[in-house]
Amino acid sequence: MLSPARYLLVVLISLIGVHFILTVTHEQYGNAVNFSHLKDKLSCSTSHDTVQPEVFAESEFKNTTQRKANAAFVILARNSELNDLLQSIKMMEDRFNRNFGYPYVFLNEQPFTSDFIKYTSDIISTKAEYGVIPPEHWYQPEWIDEERAAKGRMALQQKQIIYGESVSYRNMCRFNSGFFFRHPLMLKYDFYWRIEPGVKFFCDLDYDPFLFMQDNKKVYGFTISLYEFSETITTLWQTVKDFMQRYPDLVSEDNGMRFLSDDGGETYNLCHFWSNFEIGDLNFWRSPAYMAFFEHLEKAGGFYYERWGDAPVHSIAAALLARKDQLHFFNDIGYKHDPFMHCPSGAAHTKGKCWCDQKESFDYDGYSCHVKYEKAMMPSTPAPDLSS
């Protein structure tokens, strides 16, 4: 008879032998009892509450041979917009960035939550950085006459103008007009692609738009152009004319005035590039010419006394301060920001494997400015010689 101690020893040796055989012959069993796997299962989940803004998450994108521009996606978003934003980022990753690996910069006037940081960094293919906007870049300046600004908001609200009553919308327009490119997280980059929560990207891109902009010396790219609400920019064009009169040397000789005006600059036709989609040269916005332009507008107070948007501000500046051949319409990028959509047609639609409906493209809608852009980009016709 075996003693109890010897009996237990035999049983233990038998169990070890069976465990060894199953580990070798059954992969699933081996994975299930792997020590590191058991440790992960048994350990407490790590809280993300300690993650702070201005940190970054790094993915496994390791393409080191592909030529790239010094560029990033820039996203201004609130924590509450996470779900809509995740859909937009996922489309961008699937259609373009998983093959090109550009980083993301997320900006907010409030610190991002741990959930926002976790879920956005989880779905991107490269680095993400999260920054808080300095208060002086976001909030209404103290020198603004609040009584006058409040009257302006009330007047637009009574006219049922979208965001007519909103101070936060005005903060956003001013920030995008004059400060996003000066944020510390953006200073190291030369080009940017703006993405907003809820936008859609419909087509595959097999080339790099950043390199296209860089190699062709473009400064501003867009997909949709349309008319602005005249009530929101009552004095904007006069302010621009004052700037051109004061700084005539800053206006480009071969500019895109014909996109902005139907009468040689006397009046503004309200056309602008829809700036929720932009691919641009950050150094253009940082240039002395644009900074002088922005400061001139800033002093007028129209961001708060009226409702000057960053779309007309960027559009007017790009069309006047750059050469018209430095502007670019990205026809092959299918894009939608409700309610308007640009959908490539014909061969571009096929090549991009686009899933948008070509018949619903906004390009030649009556409210679109695309026809004016096409005419503005055509070579100027010399004035007829009437001397003979």
Could you list the active site residues?
278
Q: How far apart are CA 286 and CA 283, in angstroms?
A: 5
* Residue 218 burial by Cβ neighbours in a 10 Å radius (0-12, 13-18, 19+): buried
Rounded to 5 degrees, φ, ψ at 220 are -150, 125
For residue 9, the one-letter residue type is L
Q: How far apart are CA 145 and CA 87, in angstroms?
A: 40
Rounded to 5 degrees, φ, ψ at 195 are -125, 140
CA separation, residue 275 to residues 101, 280, 307, 334, 348 (Å): 23, 10, 15, 15, 23
**Share of the chain residues as helix, strand and coil, in percent rounded to the nearest 5:** 45, 10, 40
- In the block, tokens 């637009």 appear at 156
- In the block, tokens 């640009």 appear at 342
8 A C-beta contact, residue 277 and residue 222: yes
Q: How far apart are CA 8 and CA 12, in angstroms?
A: 6
- Sign for the CA dihedral angle at 161, 167, 168, 171 comes to positive
Query: SS3 of 294, please?
Result: helix
Which structure tokens are listed for 197?
A: 């929560």
Q: How far apart are CA 202 and CA 13, in angstroms?
A: 62
Which structure tokens are listed for 5?
A: 């101690």
How many Cβ atoms sit within 10 Å of the Cβ of residue 32?
13
